[in-house]
Amino acid sequence: ETGVTQTPRHLVMGMTNKKSLKCEQHLGHNAMYWYKQSAKKPLELMFVYNFKEQTENNSVPSRFSPECPNSSHLFLHLHTLQPEDSALYLCASTETRGGSDTQYFGPGTRLTVL
Residues forming the site for other proteins (CB under 8 A): 4, 6, 31, 42-43, 45, 90, 92, 94, 96, 101-108
Long-range contacts from 1-4, C-beta under 8 angstroms, 24+ separation: 1/26, 2/26, 2/27, 3/27, 3/104, 3/106, 4/91, 4/92, 4/93, 4/104, 4/105, 4/106
Quote the least distance from Cβ 64 to other proteins, whole Å: 19
Query: Considering beta carbons, is residue 62 or 102 the nearer one to other proteins?
Result: 102
Of the pair 28, 42, the CB lying nearest other proteins is at 42
Does residue 56 contact residue 48 with C-beta atoms inside 8 Å?
Answer: yes
Please enumerate in sequence order all residues whose Cβ is within 8 A of that of 70, keeping only pairs 6 or more positions apart, or say none. Answer: 52
Of 38 and 82, nearer to other proteins (C-beta) is 38
CB of 7 to other proteins, least distance (A): 13
**In the complex, least distance from residue 79 CB atom to other proteins, rounded to whole angstroms:** 24
Which residue type does 4 have?
V
Distance of CA 67 to the CA centre of its chain: 10
Minimum Å gap between C-beta 37 and other proteins is 9
Cβ proximity to other proteins, 85 vs 93, nearer residue: 93
